[in-house]
Structure 1
Amino acid sequence: MMRPQWEWALDDAEGRALDRPISPVFTNQFDAEQWLGENWRELARQDVVVARLLHDGTQAAAAVALRIP
């Protein structure tokens, strides 16, 4: 049996997928969302503008804009 995979697709200001930094792969949505909550500031410093949560390769929720106030 295959476990579900949750991960974040990270995009730059032009909407292009970034190859770095990369998101870990999670087995549940809660852990994926918790990781983003803990790491969003560092991701924003690395030019990530939008994070999209993927479930088994399909977008599972609205995109999240990462902005440092």
Structure 2
Amino acid sequence: MSWYWRLEDPSGAEVDPASVGVVLAESDNQGDAESWLGEHWRLLLERGVATVTLFDGDSEVYGPMGLAAT
């Protein structure tokens, strides 16, 4: 399967990655997907992404997960 993140704005609506200037990498495994987020979460937050949800193919794995520190 392909692992990827869905980006969401503060209202929970899906954000088009191109609209915030990022290319979402589809990963072969959960660890690679989580590493990608670890490298890009600050940029996503700066560009208005509030939460992310991880998918494995069509299956939601977890989320939404907030990007802001609490």
Q: TM-score range by the shorter chain?
A: 0.7 to 0.9
Work out whether residues 11 and 18 of structure 1, in 8 Å CA contact, stay in contact via their aligned partners in 2: yes
**Count of residue pairs the alignment pairs up:** 66
Partner of 2:5: 8
Contact in 2 for aligned 1:12/1:50 (Cα 8 Å): yes
Aligned-pair Cα RMSD in Å: 1.5
Q: How far apart, in 1, do the equivalents of 2:12 and 2:23 lie? A: 16
- Alpha-carbon contact 1:12-1:18 (below 8 Å) kept: yes
Q: Gaps (5+ residues) in structure 1? A: none
Counterpart in the other structure of 1:48:
49
* 8 Å Cα contact 2:7-2:15 kept in structure 1: yes
Instruction: After the TM superposition, list the runs of 4 or more consecutive aligned residues in structure 1 that deviate by more than 3 angstroms.
Output: none
Higher share of residues assigned strand: 2
TM-score by length of 1: 0.85
| Contact 1:41-1:68 within 8 A present in 2 as well | no
The residue identity in structure 2 corresponding to 1:61 is Y
| Structure with higher helix content | 2
TM-score, structure 2 as length reference: 0.84
Q: Secondary structure at the match of 2:62?
A: coil
Which position in structure 1 is the counterpart of 2:25?
24
The unaligned stretches of length 5 or more in structure 2 are: none
